[in-house]
Amino acid sequence: MTVVQLIENNAALLLTKPERTVVVADLHLGFEDEFRAKGIMIPPQSHRIVESLADLCAKERAERVIILGDLKHQFLGASTLEWKTIPRLLKQLKETVSDIMVIPGNHDGGLRKMLGGVATILPAKGYLVEDEGVGLTHGHVRPHESLLRSRIIVTGHMHPVIRLGSDEGSTRLRVWLKMRGDRRLLFQKLIGGKTGRLRGTIQLLIMPSFNVMLAGRSVTELDYRSPGGGPLLRSGVFGFDEADVITLEGVCLGKLGWLRESMHG
């Protein structure tokens, strides 16, 4: 049975085969430009995000990094800040790891031209780590058929958080969502045709955003009809109420359905 190792206190996971690999999602480098355009003047943060990732890779003795989409922030094209800083920051990251691999997300238009040879650009439909039986994708497009044959699919895109407290004094904590679904039904919904010997369940693990400042909607407000959920979630195969909600510390808060009832009555 494949075991995906969540790195404690980090929005990241570790794969050990065929080489030690740190996996993260949703860095959204260059997001500061959007904040400033709205009149929110924050100090530069993108270099801090990459430095944090480099420190994590050094601590985990990682040989490579795989980024599950939304490396950059601007949706259409790229900002001047992104063109100027992202290649430089990734070159600095390569001083710690030998390879950087990026699965393009919905914010990553023009990424190949921007990065040149600094990083390996993988197909948007995903990448299968065969040694671990893990399929990796951003989550905004239909995954490649090979990922549906893996033991577990890992995505980003949703930026899952849980909101704790009252409206007047609430806080948002980044969380992982772990779901299960029927493999054969998922194949029929997304691919169609003969399912062959497909059977059993497949796990879906949704990563929290590595960028701490870009939290998403609370998981208690999500279901398979939620906007921006992507084909995997829209398939309706994965049961939201039975999803495990896990903190960055690795604590399972319980099933999403129970948390929804507890918080909203």
17 pLDDT exceeds 70? yes
Whole-structure pTM value: 0.94
* Gap between the Cα atoms of 113 and 132, Å rounded: 31
Q: 169: pLDDT confidence band, cut at 50, 70 and 90?
A: low
Q: Which residues pair with 247 in a beta bridge?
A: 175
The predicted structure's pLDDT at residue 1 = 44
The model's pLDDT over 116-158, given as tens digits with 9 standing for 90+, comes to: 889 999 999 999 999 999 999 999 999 999 999 999 999 999 9
Q: 14: pLDDT confidence band, cut at 50, 70 and 90?
A: very high
Kindly report the number of other CB atoms within 10 A of residue 199's CB atom.
9
> Tokens 């919905």 — which residue?
106
Q: Mean pLDDT throughout 230-251? A: 94
The predicted structure's pLDDT at residue 32 = 83
The predicted structure's pLDDT at residue 34 = 77
Q: What is the mean pLDDT of the chain?
A: 90
The model's pLDDT over 67-88, given as tens digits with 9 standing for 90+, comes to: 999 999 987 777 777 888 899 9
Q: Which residues pair with 72 in a beta bridge?
A: 29
- pLDDT exceeding 90 applies to what percent of the chain? 68
- Give the domains, in start order, of the chain with CATH numbers: 5-264 (3.60.21)
* Gap between the Cα atoms of 94 and 89, Å rounded: 9
More confidently predicted of 260 and 127? 127
The predicted structure's pLDDT at residue 49 = 95
Q: 208: pLDDT confidence band, cut at 50, 70 and 90?
A: very high
Q: 215: pLDDT confidence band, cut at 50, 70 and 90?
A: confident
87 cis-preceded (ω within 30 degrees of 0): no
* Gap between the Cα atoms of 53 and 78, Å rounded: 22
The predicted structure's pLDDT at residue 221 = 86
Q: Which residues, other chains included, contact 159 with Cβ-Cβ below 8 Å and sequence gap of 6+? A: 26, 174, 208, 209, 214, 215, 216, 217
264 pLDDT exceeds 70? no
The model's pLDDT over 35-63, given as tens digits with 9 standing for 90+, comes to: 877 888 888 889 999 999 999 999 999 99
Quick one: CA torsion of 84, 60, 100, 228, rounded to 10 degrees? -80
CA distances from 135 to 98, 132, 162, 178, 258 (A): 21, 9, 25, 14, 28
